[in-house]
Every structure is written in structure tokens, then in C-alpha cells.
Amino acid sequence: MSNSRQRVLLGMSGGVDSSVAGYLLREQGYEVIGVTMKVWPQDCISRAEDKCCGPQAIADARGVAHSLGIPHYVVDEADQFERLVIDYFSSEYRAGRTPNPCVMCNEKLKFGNLWSKAAALGCDYIATGHYAIIEHIVAAGDDRGRMDPSVACESTGVDDPGYSYAILRKGSDPRKDQSYFLFSLRQPQLRRALTPLGKMTKPQIREIAHSLGLKVADKIDSQEICFVPGNDYKAFLRSHLGENEFHRGEIYDVAGNFLGEHGGIEFFTIGQRRGLPGGSPQPRYVVDLDPATNRVIVGDADDLVTDEFEIDRANWHPVAAGADRGDAIDTQGAGVNAPGYREPIEVTAKIRYSHPGTPATLTQLEDGRAHVRLHDPQRAVTPGQAAVFYDGDVVLGGGWICRSEAMSGGETFNRSAAPALA
């Protein structure tokens, strides 16, 4: 594809990654326009003072844009961020699930709402500093990209001959790969996305920043959720929801024995040890959360291990190489494969961002669901987290881990048992 003066809207967080991405795109011949999202209402801005998209980040991004000689704009997305990310974050905890706000922010804001700003500025692409590789494929002749020809249509960018699609791959630096956070992007989003850092390492990025004299060259990477100060999500929920909005309930062990009461199901996540009643010779962990009854179920380490789970709201990507899996793209242009994989396939499954991945067999079910059988049982498969599936370094797709039916029914709870001492 030619990049001759194509215009790119670059999301600038004020960090070294997006800053160097701007330089690389400029050197590749793109006309780059920098933009930083302001996601905090003015009365809450102090909470994000040194975070991504906070005041300092905006100032840093503006300074880098000036150094690179590219225009820079600030767009106010506070209302949308509240509705699409923060409300989602809170509602997931209230439903007994552990959210992944970074995935949602990428899908709904950075590669979602921001496109209207890009289009208004005449941009061809949106670019970010993510460590992931997005390959833009233009097929020709009889190369159908392993897609079902019955769904070819202009609304999906698939026509015959010569249609285009995008392949999402892991970043080359395994320590920084962020493809996991982009799994939910649909084809229309991926086809107009650029990730110039995908084949680079963090040391290379910092070296370039130093060579350019950028003040952000040694800026520390954020290791926490941008809107949760100190990574204390409980304190954030208290301030966001209010003390009277938590769903209080009871704590039971896996045998159904009452152990105590808790101050809100929102304060627990699968695998957690802190805040549980004592009195057990073995460490106790949260192994299930029942939002219907507000019960917290605890067990020992073995109770955290499972060899199967299901996902819902699955999003599948076209596969550009390898065996014909019978993939298909929906005719509405959303990029979600339907029916997708017609037979069970072997994949590598990542059940959380920090998870190294494990072999699994994936079987698609109806209504956007899929069953995952892990070849090696894994610990703390957590409802609400994303499960992302790979074939080598290619992202096949993913979905959201569901609560196990086995855990959600069948227990007999004994409220008369004496609670353990905390």
C-alpha cells in the first residue's frame, strides 16, 4: 500500500512509545496529526494528574508534537470515557466479574469514537504506540484469505477480486506484546489502524527518543489502570459508587459452610486471599462469586484450578495463512466471524494479559460463545477477563470468560454453622 502523504491521526499519551511512533510515521512519509484524549471531568482532574491523559500527559504530548513539527489537538472524551469505560468497570465488579478496561478503551474510544475525529480531519488511519503488529493484506485473484466466499460483500471490505483485510499479530518484543488488548477490534477498525512499534523493542524506542532529544525519553511506563490511583480499585469504587451502593452478603466455603459476612461483592476477585475469614489450616482463596445471592465462595488452592471454561461475545479474525479453518466475516461489517470455526481447533489460549499462554482446544458454540478445553489445567480462570487465542503469533480472536455453571449451582449452604474467626 502507498503511504504517499496519507494522513494519520496519532493517539498521543505523553509517553515515550506514542512519541516515537509519531517520529517513525513522519519518517515513513505520513502526514501525522497528534491528538490526546482528555478523559477526566474538570472536578476530577487531580485524580489523573500524572496519569495517561491527565494534565501532565497532555503537556508532554504537546511538547513532543512541537519537537516533531506536527500539529496537536486535545479532544474532550470525558463523558464517553465515563459511560464506556468507567461505568463498565464498576458494573463488572458489581456483577461479580473482574473487568479489563484497557480492552474496552481500545475498542470503544481509541479505535472507536476517535475515528469520527480522524474522519473530520481527513485522516486515512489511526495510529497508536501499541506493541502489536497489524498487517494489511490485499488479496487478489483466487486468494480468498481462507474466508468463506459466501459472505463476500462491500460492507466488510471483502469483494472479488482484490479485497483487503487485516491480520493482528503479537509484537516482536515478548515482554511488551500488547496484542491481547486489541483482540476485540473489528475488521473495519483494524484495516484503518497502524502500530509502527510492533516490530521494535522498548530499548530501541528509548534509544530513538534519546537521539531526538525528547524530554519523555526516560519517562516511566504506567503499570496500573490509568484512572485508578495507586491501583487501589476498592478506593476508586468507594468514591465512584458511594458506600451505600455495595452488595453486601455472606462468605461460604466450597462445602457450603458459613464463614462470615462481607461488605460488598465488588471487593472480591477470583484468586484473592486478602479480606477472607481466618481459622483454616490452609490458605483460603476466592474461588467463585455469585452475584445473584452476593455470596463469596472460598476454597483451597486446588479449588482454583480448572481445565475448561466458556467465553461469550466472541470476536474472530480472518486467518491469512495456514489451514483453511472455514472462517467467515459477518455481512454487517462488524468483523465478528459467523459462524466462524466450524470444527474444534487447536490454539494457544491466554486467560489474562500476564499469562504466558497454554495449549487448548477451542469449540465454537451458538450465540457468540465458545468452549475452551485446556490441555494443562490452569489456576484462577477469572470471569470478566478476556481470553485471547493464538495460532503462533497470529491472533485468531477471543472473548470474555463466563462464570462456570458448575460453580453456580448445586451447593447446599449452611447458614447455621458458626462463623470462623477473622
Active site residues: 105, 226
- Are the beta carbons of 360 and 389 closer than 8 angstroms? yes
* Residue that the C-alpha cell 531526538 belongs to: 212
Three-class DSSP category at 119: helix
- Indicate the length of the chain as a whole number: 422
Rg (CA), the chain: 23
Instruction: Tell me how far apart the alpha carbons of residues 337 and 297 are, in angstroms, rounded to a whole number.
Output: 36
User: What type of residue is 146?
Assistant: R
- Whether 67 and 30 have beta carbons less than 8 Å apart is answered as no
- State the DSSP string of 231-294: G-HHHHHHHHH-GGGS--EEEEETT-BEEEEES-GGG--TT--TT-----SS--EEEEEETTTT
Cell numbers that stand for 91 in this block:
458494573
Which residue in this structure is represented by grid cell 526516560? 218
Q: For residue 362, how far is the Cα from the chain centroid?
A: 20
**Residue at grid coordinates 486468494:** 143
If one counts every other C-beta atom within 10 angstroms of the C-beta of residue 38, the result is 19
377: helix, strand or coil: strand
Report d(CA 142, CA 103) in Å as an integer.
35
CA dihedral of 89, 93, 98, 102, whole degrees rounded to 10? 0
Task: Say how far residue 417 (Cα) sits from the centre of its chain.
Answer: 41
Roughly what angle, to the nearest 10 degrees, separates helices 16-27 and 202-212?
Answer: 70
175's grid cell: 515482554
